[in-house]
């Protein structure tokens, strides 16, 4: 009662999708940690600097936008003025 080839392909595809999702989550965590360390002491940071460092580490502009938007939405950071981010509270 072994698995046939099609079932094995389905299982392999599921495992690959999970691995890709885990890598994406790890990268998101890495980017969030980077942003967090830049604003840790409550100072405002130029958004351009965040992009520069993130792009240098292999992130895409879309990934940076997504993380910054999520952090703003979750009220972890805010934009005290255009082009800057800062920790809430």
Domain that holds residue 48: 5-87
Across the range 61-86, mean pLDDT stands at: 91
DSSP the chain: -PPPHHHHHHHHHHHHHHHHHHHHHHHHHHHHHHHHHHSTTS--EEHHHHHHHHHHTT--HHHHHHHHHHHHHTTSEE-SSTTEEEE--
Mean pLDDT of the chain: 88
% the chain with pLDDT above 90 = 36
The model carries a pTM of 0.70
Burial of 26 (0-12, 13-18, 19+ CB in 10 A): exposed
Q: What is the CATH number of the domain that holds 80?
A: 1.10.10.10
Q: Based on the structure, what is the number of domains in the chain?
A: 1
pLDDT one-digit tens code per residue, 17-55: 888 888 888 888 888 888 888 888 888 999 999 999 999
Please tell me which residue, 2 or 13, carries the higher pLDDT value: 13
Which is nearest to 62 in space by CA: 16, 70, 76?
70
């Amino acid at each position: 009662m072994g698995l046939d080839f099609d079932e094995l392909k389905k299982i392999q595809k599921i495992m690959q999708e999970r691995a890709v999702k885990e890598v994406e989550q790890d990268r998101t965590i890495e980017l969030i940690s980077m942003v967090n360390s830049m604003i840790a002491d409550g100072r405002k940071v130029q958004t351009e600097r965040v992009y520069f460092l993130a792009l240098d580490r292999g992130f895409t502009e879309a990934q940076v936008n997504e993380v910054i938007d999520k952090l703003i939405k979750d009220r972890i950071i805010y934009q005290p003025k255009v082009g800057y981010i800062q920790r809430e509270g």
